[in-house]
Amino acid sequence: MEVLVAKTAGFCFGVERAVRKVYEQIETGHGPICTLGPIIHNEEVVKDLEEKGVRVLSDEEGLEALDRGTVIIRSHGVGKAVYDRIKARGLSLVDATCPFVKKIHRIVEEQNSKGRRIIIIGDRDHPEVKGIEGWGDKRTLVVKDEKDMAGLPDFTGEKLCIVAQTTFNYNKFQDLVEKFSEKGYDILVLNTICNATQERQIEAGRIASQVDAMIVVGGKSSSNTRKLYEICRKECKNTYYIQTVGDFDPESVSSVRSVGITAGASTPKNIIEEVHTNVRGIK
């Protein structure tokens, strides 16, 4: 059996940086240590950190119960008001926001101050998008698909700034931007989709088109992994979405000649290697 593993599979720069920052705080021995939401969307990593004493605050309200310690802002980032709340409570702050997400925050704050309405193309329920919204104002809107587009008001006479969730599907972003352009609005379009995300999606689609079965590895709550699955599923009907090797059913690929493997940006290297080893071991 031929097994193709995507070169771009696994931790991206921003995720690796965020996870490293948490382990560095653990080594200092200065607690308590909390992350505002799971540091990344991978259950295995979060579980290991919890076993080492890192507490996950489920929401911003959890900050109100803290009177000391360190709060780590996860890779997805947060709105400006959250920084203000952490500082107001006198808590230590470690900012593990992905630099590419941080760049969007600066863009939104700057363009909003210039009077442009911010349009975020992405999933409004994703923590990254919620954080980006927090650097705009009450006029800021989130658009995910054509259905959302149809429900928008008329922006004639307004100036718009369009940005994207870093892990959004590039082709879908382009399609939605084109629809804004067709309406003749005054728009400033900034493609803020991470290059690593684009490369990962392109490679995943290419491999999926060449194999008999495709395995996508990542947390169930990982937006970028879910998008990889959707891309691969279009190219290969035998595409499987698993979190760890424990979810893998060898029988599902036992009769194929070739298998492709890719993984989301929050998937540790050891999990990818375990899946690879198990697939290669199928007789």
Active site residues: 128
Nearest-angstrom CA–CA distance, 126 and 261: 25
Give 24's DSSP letter. Answer: H
Interhelix angle 43-51/13-28, rounded to 10 degrees, is 10
* Count of positions (residues) in the chain: 283
SS3 21: helix
Give 253's DSSP letter. Answer: G
Return the exposure string of 148-176: e unless at least 16 CB atoms fall within 10 Å of the residue's CB, then b. ebeeeeebeeeebbbbbbbbbbbebbeeb
Give 136's DSSP letter. Answer: S
Give 116's DSSP letter. Answer: P
